[in-house]
A and B are shown apart, each in its own frame.
Chain A
Amino acid sequence: MKIRRVFIANRGEIAVRIIRTCQRLGIETVLGASEADLDSLPARLASQVIRIGPAKPAASYLNVEAVVGAAAAAGADAIHPGYGFLSENASLARRCLKQGLLLIGPTEEQLLAIGDKLKAREHAIAAGLPVAPGGPAATPDEATVLAKQIGYPLLVKAVGGGGGRGMKLVREPSALIDTAALAMAEAEAAFGDRRVYLERFVASGRHVEVQIIGDGERVVHLGDRDCSVQRRYQKLMEEAPAPGLPERLREEIRAAGVRFGHHLGYRGLGTVEFLVDRDRGDFFFLEMNARIQVEHPVTEAITGLDLVAEQISVAEGRPLRVAQDEVHWNGHAVECRLNAERWRQDFRPSPGTVTAAVFPVGPGIRVDTHVQRGAKVPPFYDSLLAKIIVHGADRADALVRLRGALALCRVDGVETNLGLCAQLADDPEFMVGGVDTGYLARFLERRA
């Protein structure tokens, strides 16, 4: 089926991003906007706009009935959910099917399979992916056997505990028996359950993910990305390819991503996330994101593909347009997220009205944004203002471009993290490449 009119159930830069591709493909766009976004840049760019509810996300962007009802009223034949909000919501997939609307995303079954952490882990094991080694032990002897499989260092946790309570770090085998026995006694006293859970401890991990796309039969990967520069699980800088990974490891990670997609019979664009253990040099499955991601432009930059166009093509029921040996990677790309926040004041959000928005332009620079002069940054949604994406011949070249590009950015009216981004782009540790997920916290501490 050829999609002629897409309903966009999202806002901000990703709504603008989707509209741009639809315009290029000659597809009409209907933006479902909340009360707070009726005047936004995506609302001005879309062919048509329909109000889906009040500003609060629960009543608008997260409201399945409001979204599907508006899409039907607008005569759309497909819904693009973007990222966040309803993008991985299985009931949206179900409602779309019932309404005769195409969802530009995976099937309900696939969303259910990966929506729950434990289920996703089971599927990863079934697909032969490495998962964080671990398991329960009821006696010190059982713990010894299990610890041998897991390797050191490892964590001993009370099965009945949670949130870090009753967690102990064991660095070497000689300390295991005593620590496990103590943990069991404490667990018994605290939770009435003496079982402990042993788990791999990753002292220094990198967040590496694989972009995959499938048509329900074939799955190809579009390379890897590194998103280790993050704070409280919020990514700040992403790049492709992941710098400094041994080639054998990179190939294994990419193959694992494809294997997971095959196992699910995956249809659509998705990202399989892994934690790479820097000390051990191995990796395991974290989770899968069954949608387009914020950081997709770095993959687009080095592959030359338009991932939204590929999503639409697959949703139309067409077979993949690209074979694995036709995917080529060229150079290195880095993305920096510009957020409305006071990063020096513990990242307090900074909503308001943008009075000036100046961005760099030129070869090797892409800026994805919904922000222009007069734009409102409402307090109801996330703080992302713009993504600055640079593409260079190699990583060093990309970073030179990034520093140049950031120096040309100016957003007035709201506070931004531009200064932090510029400092990071100039930080020797980041410039070396391959930092771990603890890097940003350490960087901020150094500067505090």
Chain B
Amino acid sequence: MNLTNEDVEEIIRILDASTYTDLRLETGRFTLVLRRQGSGWTQESEVRSVPTSVPGTDPLTPERAPLASAVPAPPAAGGPTLIEGLIEVRTPMIGTFYRAPKPRAPPFVEVGSIVGEDTVVGIVETMKLMTSVYAGAAGRVVDIRAADGELVEAGHVLMRLEQVDA
């Protein structure tokens, strides 16, 4: 059983009539910190009880699927980077990478596609918001390094381009 909002309000009423400025309540199941701030109060609560799985079903240990970029990504978010003559196209933010504008539509680019700086090469979906990924440089797609629907961390290399002579 955790504290209800009514419980917390009751505690505040008692504290308000006192000279105390903060209260820290800690049990095995939760921590509650109340602090006086001017004429009001703030609360910081943390429920620590461990989730209980439905008996006879899967335990709740998440299968931590490794993120696409297990190797620490360079801090540069977005924008192309030159390595060994190849230009890397990175995702500007964490999210789900899509190679096509919608399911079953042809991908924006394939290996071998010629792209310009403003060519959209994919989409990253973060919190229901779709962000276009631009090539950022002109060139030919050499390889595509993230699968359609894969979760990618910010800065992950999505594809590499080689420069082509005009």
User: Closest B-chain residue to A76, C-beta based?
Assistant: B54
Q: A362-B40, A379-B151 are in contact. Are A35 and B63 (CB under 8 A)?
A: yes
Contact between A379 and B54, CB atoms less than 8 A apart: no
Asked if B93 is at the interface of the complex by the 8 Å CB criterion, the answer is yes
Chain B residues with Cβ under 8 A from A70's Cβ?
57
Asked if B164 is at the interface of the complex by the 8 Å CB criterion, the answer is no
Contact between A351 and B54, CB atoms less than 8 A apart: no
Contact between A48 and B44, CB atoms less than 8 A apart: no
Interface residue range, chain B: 35 or more
Asked if A160 is at the interface of the complex by the 8 Å CB criterion, the answer is no
Asked if A348 is at the interface of the complex by the 8 Å CB criterion, the answer is yes
User: Closest B-chain residue to A356, C-beta based?
Assistant: B44
Q: Mark A363-386, 1 if CB is under 8 A from B, else 0.
A: 100100000111000011111000
Contact between B60 and A49, CB atoms less than 8 A apart: yes
Contact between B62 and A379, CB atoms less than 8 A apart: no
Q: Give CA–CA (A46, B37) in the complex, Å.
A: 32
Return A72 CB to nearest CB of chain B, in Å: 11
Return A43 CB to nearest CB of chain B, in Å: 4
A379 interface neighbour in B52, B61, B95, Cβ under 8 Å: B95
Return A201 CB to nearest CB of chain B, in Å: 30
Return A367 CB to nearest CB of chain B, in Å: 8
Chain B residues with Cβ under 8 A from A374's Cβ?
46
A48 interface neighbour in B34, B37, B54, Cβ under 8 Å: B54
Chain B residues with Cβ under 8 A from A381's Cβ?
127-128
Q: A56-B96, A351-B94 are in contact. Are A73 and B51 (CB under 8 A)?
A: no
Chain A residues with Cβ under 8 A from B129's Cβ?
347-349
Q: Which of A342-365 contact B (CB under 8 A)?
A: 347-349, 351, 356-363
Q: Which of A390-411 contact B (CB under 8 A)?
A: 404-405, 408, 410
Asked if A39 is at the interface of the complex by the 8 Å CB criterion, the answer is yes
User: Closest B-chain residue to A409, C-beta based?
Assistant: B42
Contact between B53 and A358, CB atoms less than 8 A apart: no
Q: Give CA–CA (A200, B95) in the complex, Å.
A: 40
Number of A-B contacts defined by CB within 8 Å? 129
Q: Which of A1-48 contact B (CB under 8 A)?
A: 20, 23-24, 30-31, 35-36, 38-39, 41, 43-48
B54 interface neighbour in A30, A38, A382, Cβ under 8 Å: A30
A49 interface neighbour in B34, B43, B51, Cβ under 8 Å: B51
Q: Which of B130-151 contact A (CB under 8 A)?
A: 131, 149, 151
Q: Mark A38-76, 1 if CB is under 8 A from B, else 0.
A: 110101111111110001100000000000001001100
Asked if B58 is at the interface of the complex by the 8 Å CB criterion, the answer is yes
Contact between A48 and B53, CB atoms less than 8 A apart: yes
Asked if B47 is at the interface of the complex by the 8 Å CB criterion, the answer is yes
Q: Which of A310-360 contact B (CB under 8 A)?
A: 340-341, 347-349, 351, 356-360
Return B132 CB to nearest CB of chain A, in Å: 13
Contact between B54 and A408, CB atoms less than 8 A apart: no
A363 interface neighbour in B9, B60, B62, Cβ under 8 Å: B9
Contact between A46 and B44, CB atoms less than 8 A apart: no
Return B133 CB to nearest CB of chain A, in Å: 14
Q: A358-B44, A362-B41, A372-B46 are in contact. Are A380 and B96 (CB under 8 A)?
A: yes
Q: A44-B48, A73-B57, A74-B54 are in contact. Are A361 and B94 (CB under 8 A)?
A: no
Q: Give CA–CA (A96, B106) in the complex, Å.
A: 37
User: Closest A-chain residue to B39, C-beta based?
Assistant: A404
Q: A48-B52, A379-B94 are in contact. Are A349 and B126 (CB under 8 A)?
A: yes
Chain B residues with Cβ under 8 A from A43's Cβ?
51, 60
Contact between B42 and A373, CB atoms less than 8 A apart: no
Chain B residues with Cβ under 8 A from A410's Cβ?
42
Q: Mark B1-30, 1 if CB is under 8 A from A, else 0.
A: 110110011001000000000000000000
Q: Give CA–CA (A408, B53) in the complex, Å.
A: 36
Contact between B63 and A44, CB atoms less than 8 A apart: no
User: Closest A-chain residue to B125, C-beta based?
Assistant: A379
Contact between B126 and A351, CB atoms less than 8 A apart: yes
Contact between A404 and B127, CB atoms less than 8 A apart: no
Asked if B45 is at the interface of the complex by the 8 Å CB criterion, the answer is yes
Return A376 CB to nearest CB of chain B, in Å: 10
9 smallest A-B Cβ distances: which pairs?
Answer: A349-B127, A43-B51, A361-B43, A50-B54, A349-B126, A49-B51, A383-B127, A379-B126, A74-B54
| A positions within 8 Å CB-CB of B | 20, 23-24, 30-31, 35-36, 38-39, 41, 43-51, 55-56, 70, 73-74, 340-341, 347-349, 351, 356-363, 366, 372-374, 379-383, 404-405, 408, 410
Pairs A–B under 8 Å by Cβ, sample size 19: A31-B51, A41-B47, A44-B50, A44-B51, A49-B53, A50-B54, A51-B53, A51-B58, A51-B60, A73-B56, A74-B57, A347-B129, A348-B129, A358-B44, A360-B41, A361-B9, A361-B42, A373-B46, A382-B127
List 13 additional contacts besides A73-B54, A348-B129, A361-B42; criterion CB under 8 Å: A20-B4, A35-B65, A36-B62, A38-B60, A39-B51, A44-B47, A44-B49, A56-B96, A349-B93, A351-B95, A372-B45, A382-B127, A408-B41
